[in-house]
Chains A and B, each alone.
Chain A
Amino acid sequence: MSFKKKLAAAPALAAAVIAAVALLLTSPAAGPAVAQEDADVIKVGILHSLSGTMAISETTLKDAVLMLIEEQNRKGGLLGKKLVPVVVDPASEWPLFAEKARDLLSREKVAVVFGCWTSVSRKSVLPVFEELNGLLFYPVQYEGQESSKNVIYTGAAPNQQAIPAVDYLLDQGVKRFALVGTDYVFPRTANKIVEAYLLTKGIKQEDIYINYTPFGHADWQSIVAEIKRFGTTGVKTAVISTINGDANVPFYKELAAQNISAESIPVMAFSVGEEELSGIDTKPLVGHLAAWNYFQSVENPANATFIAAWKEYIKDPKRVTNDPMEAHYIGFNLWVKAVEKAGTTDVDAVLKAIVGLETPNLTGGTARLLANHHLTKPVLIGEIQDDGQFQVVWSTEGEVEGDAWSDYLPESADLIADWTDPINCGNYNEKTKTCGGSEAAAPAQ
Chain B
Amino acid sequence: MTFPPPPYASPAGNPVRSGRAAPAGRKETAAYRRPRATRALAAAAFCALAFGAGDLPAEDGLAVDPEVRASLASSKVQDRDLAIERLAADFSPEAGAIMAALLAGDLYVDRDTSDLYLRDPGGAGYSPAGSGEPTDGESLSLRKVGTNNRQRSALAGILNGRSLRHPDVNVRREASAALVSDSGADEAFGAFIRELLAEEKDSRVRGNYEKILAARALRDPASSREDILAALGTLKERLSPEAQGLIRERTGAEDPEIAAAAREALSRMEATIQHISLFDTVFFGLSLGSVLALIAIGLAVTFGVMGVINMAHGEMVMLGAYTVWAFQELMPGRPGLALILAVPGSFVVAAIVGAAIERGVIRFLYNRPLETLLATFGISLILQQAVRTFVSSNNRPVVTPPFMAGQWYWTEHLSITWGRFYIIVFCLAVFLMILLVMKRTRLGLEVRAVTQNRPVARAMGVNSGRVDLMCFMLGSGVAGMAGAALSQLANVGPNLGQNYIVDSFMVVVFGGVGNLWGTLVGGLLIGMANKFLEPVNGAILAKIIIMCGIILFIQRHPRGLFPQKGRAAAA
Contact = CB atoms under 8 A, between A and B. Distances in A.
Chain A in direct contact with chain B (Cβ < 8 angstroms):
yes
Contacts of B494: 55-56
A87 B36 CA distance: 52
B534 to A, nearest CB: 5
- Most chain B CB within 10 A, of A213, A232, A262, A394, is at A394
A246 B495 contact: yes
Interface string B1-32: 00000011111001111111111010111100
B13 to A, nearest CB: 9
Contacts of B483: none
B491 A222 contact: no
B489 A391 contact: no
A284 B33 CA distance: 10
Nearest to A282: B397
Interface in A204-257: 211-214, 216-219, 221-223, 225-226, 229, 232-234, 236, 246, 249-250, 253, 256-257
Interface string B525-547: 00000110011001110010000
B492 interface: yes
Nearest to A164: B14
B29 A222 contact: no
Given A173-B8, A279-B493, A216 B499 contact: yes
Interface stretch (B162-170, B226-234, B279-287, B459-467): B279-287
A299 interface: yes
Contact of B397 (A221, A264, A279, A393): A279
Contact of B420 (A234, A257, A266): A257
Contacts of B405: 256-257, 284
Contacts of B535: 222, 226
A212 to B, nearest CB: 7
Interface in B458-493: 488-493
A394 B531 contact: no
A232 B181 contact: yes
Contacts, number: 198
Contact of A387 (B25, B30, B398): B25
Nearest to A218: B490
A392 B493 contact: no
Contacts of B250: none
A167 interface: yes
Given A173-B8, A393-B149, A219 B288 contact: yes
B143 interface: no
Contacts of B7: 173
B397 A281 contact: yes
Interface string A335-354: 00000000000000000000
A391 B23 contact: yes
Interface in A261-315: 261-264, 266, 275-276, 278-284, 286-287, 289, 297-299
A355 B393 CA distance: 36
A298 B20 contact: yes
B1 to A, nearest CB: 18
Contacts of B531: 219, 221-222
B491 A393 contact: no
Interface in B125-164: 146, 148-150, 152-153, 156
Contacts of B495: 52-53, 56, 246
- Most chain A CB within 10 A, of B11, B394, B417, B535, is at B394
Interface of B: 7-11, 14-23, 25, 27-30, 33, 35-36, 38-39, 105, 146, 148-150, 152-153, 156, 181-182, 240-242, 280-281, 284, 287-288, 384-385, 388, 393-400, 405-407, 417-420, 488-495, 499, 530-531, 534-535, 538-540, 543
10 contacts: A218-B489, A218-B499, A221-B280, A226-B535, A257-B418, A282-B397, A385-B22, A387-B25, A391-B148, A394-B16
5 closest pairs, A vs B, by CB? A279-B395, A393-B19, A221-B284, A257-B417, A281-B399
